[in-house]
Amino acid sequence: MENDGSDLFLIILLGFFLMIVMVSFIVIMVVFHRQRQIKNQQLVKEIQAEYEKTILNVEKELREDILSYVGRELHDNVGQLLSLAKMNLSSSKPEKVSEGKGIVNEIIHEVRALSKSLNLDWVEKISLEDYIQRELKKLESSEFCKVVFHQSGDILHLEKDKKLVLIRIIQESLNNAIKHAQPKMIEISIDSDTSRSLIKVIDDGKGFDYTGESSGSGIYNLKNRMATIGGEMKLHSIPGKGTEIKLILPNQKA
């Protein structure tokens, strides 16, 4: 009987020990899961904060560019028109006065166009394809270089924020080509399907020796901005053979 009592005690002790082990394991798993949840929540907050910061910076840069453009237009274009209007309206000749009134109407039209450009709501109204073609037409009309645009697959339907970032990246890519590459031709293509959208900006200019370590903050910033909207930027450049930039954005429905 004493042996049976001893065995029962051992069974109870072992069961109690196993229960403590199981409870400890459950507590550890709950704590681990909770810590993982907190870490994931912090990561999501950091990603969201970086995304919002990127959008704010893009909006600020675009507005600064627009203000610079408005300043030039007011000084070079509107200012000149105002001088012409003043000169014609001061004339005693009826035809000159009539011409001056026509110039005043032109000034009103120019100022209204400039005021609209200050508001970034135009981003919602223009497609990325139309924006790219508009920018390429500016280069073509200035006779800076030849331009080519290709579009295949589905039309891009982008949220305003993502479109803003892409517009800024494309703008920066074109500016870099204009300032540094001395190209004879710039080509932009868009290929979009159900899984992803691919935008290529290619120039046949000087190119440069590109490595990840020596790419500079400009390329890093562009890559980082693509990452904040869930995309990827790839750059390939060969000295004397030009530069190719790929902007890859997963489709929202994919």
pLDDT given at position 36: 85
Lookup result for tokens 């060969």:
238
Q: Kindly report the backbone phi and psi dihedral angles of residue 223, in degrees, each rounded to the nearest multiple of 5, phi listed first.
A: -65, -40
Lookup result for tokens 């920018």:
135
C-alpha neighbours within 13 Å on the C-beta side of residue 247: 27
Q: Is the pTM of this model over 0.95?
A: no
Q: Kindly report the backbone phi and psi dihedral angles of residue 231, in degrees, each rounded to the nearest multiple of 5, phi listed first.
A: -110, -170
Angle subtended by helix axes 94-117 and 79-89, to nearest 10:
160
pLDDT given at position 129: 94
The CATH fold assigned to 127-254 is Heat Shock Protein 90 (3.30.565)
3-class SS at 91? coil
Lookup result for tokens 């400009």:
218
| pLDDT tens, the chain, 254 aa long | 556 667 777 778 788 888 888 888 888 888 888 888 888 788 777 777 777 777 778 878 877 777 777 787 787 778 888 888 888 888 888 888 888 888 888 888 888 877 776 777 788 888 999 999 999 998 888 888 999 999 998 888 888 889 989 999 999 999 899 888 999 999 999 999 888 999 999 999 999 887 654 455 678 888 989 999 999 999 999 998 999 999 999 986 54
Q: Kindly report the backbone phi and psi dihedral angles of residue 242, in degrees, each rounded to the nearest multiple of 5, phi listed first.
A: 95, -175
**Structure tokens of 29?**
């798993």
Do the Cβ atoms of 197 and 253 come closer than 8 Å?
Answer: no
pLDDT given at position 3: 60
Domain positions in the chain are 127-254
What does the alpha-carbon distance between residue 119 and residue 110 come to, in Å, rounded to a whole number? Answer: 15
pLDDT given at position 237: 92
What does the alpha-carbon distance between residue 156 and residue 161 come to, in Å, rounded to a whole number? Answer: 14
pLDDT given at position 254: 44
